[in-house]
Amino acid sequence: MGEIRQSYLVAATSAVSLLRDPAVGSAWHKPSALTEFSVAGLAGHLAHQLVRVADVLASKEDGHAPIRLIEHYSRSPWVQAGLDHESNVSVRRGGEAAAADGAATLVEKAQRLLDQLTAALPTEPADRVVNLPWAGWSLRLDDFLLTRLVELVVHSDDLASSVGVETPELPAPVIEPVVELLARLAVHRHGPTAVIRTLSRAERAPATISAF
C-alpha cells in the first residue's frame, strides 16, 4: 500500500481515538476553537473526512482526467471565502448534521468507516482516479487522500484545543506531507518571497502566510 494511503489511515485512526475521548462528549454543546463551530459540529466535520473517502471509493469514475492539487484548491471557493460564504456555511451545517445524534453515535459510525477503509484502500489500484461530485472534477485517489490527511491533522488540532486535551502526536510520514502541501499552497497564495521571509526573517515577515 502506498505511503499516503498508510498515512491517511494512521491519521484517521488517531482522529477516531480523539473523537472517543470523554472530553469531547463533555464539551459537545460548547463553542469550539473555530468561529461559529460548536464542538459537536467540529467533531462531525472531522469524522466527515472518513465519509468523504468512503463516498469517492464507491462512486464511478466520470472519465475526466484528474486535475492537479494546486488547481483543486484554486477552484475550491471555500479556500479564500469568508465565514458567511455559502461554501463555509454548508461545511458548518454538514458538521452539525453529522453530529446530531450525539457523540457515541458519531464515534460508532467513524469506527465502522475506518474499518471499511482499512480493508478497502490497500486493494485500490495505484492509478485510481476518483470523481468528486460535489466539486465537479476528478483527482488521483492518492491526491484526494492527501487533501483529507490535511483536514484530519488540522482539525484534530482544532478539536483537541477546543476541549482542553493535547493535540495528538502523529509520526513524520503523516506530518511531513501535510506541511509540504500547506507550504506549497502558501507559496501559491502569497508568493515565495513572503513565505521565505516568514520562515527566515521575522523582522520582514508579512502579517500572514496562511495557506487558507
Cα 199 to Cα 186: distance, rounded to the nearest angstrom: 12
pLDDT, residue 123, reads 95
Work out the percent of the chain whose per-residue pLDDT is above 90.
68
Tell me which range, 79-88, 164-173, 195-204, is most confidently predicted by mean pLDDT: 164-173
As a whole number, mean pLDDT of residues 11-31 equals 97
Q: What is the CATH number of domain 3-171?
A: 1.20.120.450
Which pLDDT score is estimated for 166? 97
Q: What is the reported pLDDT for 81?
A: 58
The mean pLDDT of the chain is: 91
Q: How far apart are the first and last CA of the chain?
A: 30
pLDDT reading at 62 higher than 90: no
For residue 92, pLDDT over 90 is answered with: no
Query: pLDDT at residue 20 above 90?
Result: yes
Backbone angles phi and psi of 207, in degrees to 5 = -65, -35
Q: Which grid coordinates belong to 11?
A: 491519521
Q: Cα torsion for 111, 116, 118, 120, to the nearest 10°?
A: -160
pLDDT in tens, 100-118: 999 999 999 999 999 999 9
77 vs 181, more confident:
181
Q: Report the sign of the C-alpha dihedral through residues 25, 28, 33, 37, in that order.
A: positive
**Mean per-residue pLDDT, 33-58:** 94
What is the pLDDT, as a whole number, of residue 1? Answer: 65
Is residue 42 within 8 A of residue 32, CB to CB? The reply is yes
- By mean pLDDT, which of 61-70, 113-122, 144-153, 167-176 is the weakest? 61-70
Centre a 10 Å sphere on the Cβ of residue 27 and count the other Cβ atoms it contains: 22
Looking at the predicted structure, is the pLDDT value of residue 27 above 90? Answer: yes
Q: Assign 188 a pLDDT band (cuts: 50, 70, 90).
A: confident
Query: Taking 80 as the threshold, does the pLDDT of residue 57 lie above it?
Result: yes
Using pLDDT thresholds of 50, 70 and 90, give the confidence band for residue 8: very high
Is the pLDDT confidence value at 174 over 90?
yes
Name the burial class of residue 5, with classes exposed (0-12), middle (13-18) and buried (19+) by CB atoms within 10 angstroms of its CB. buried
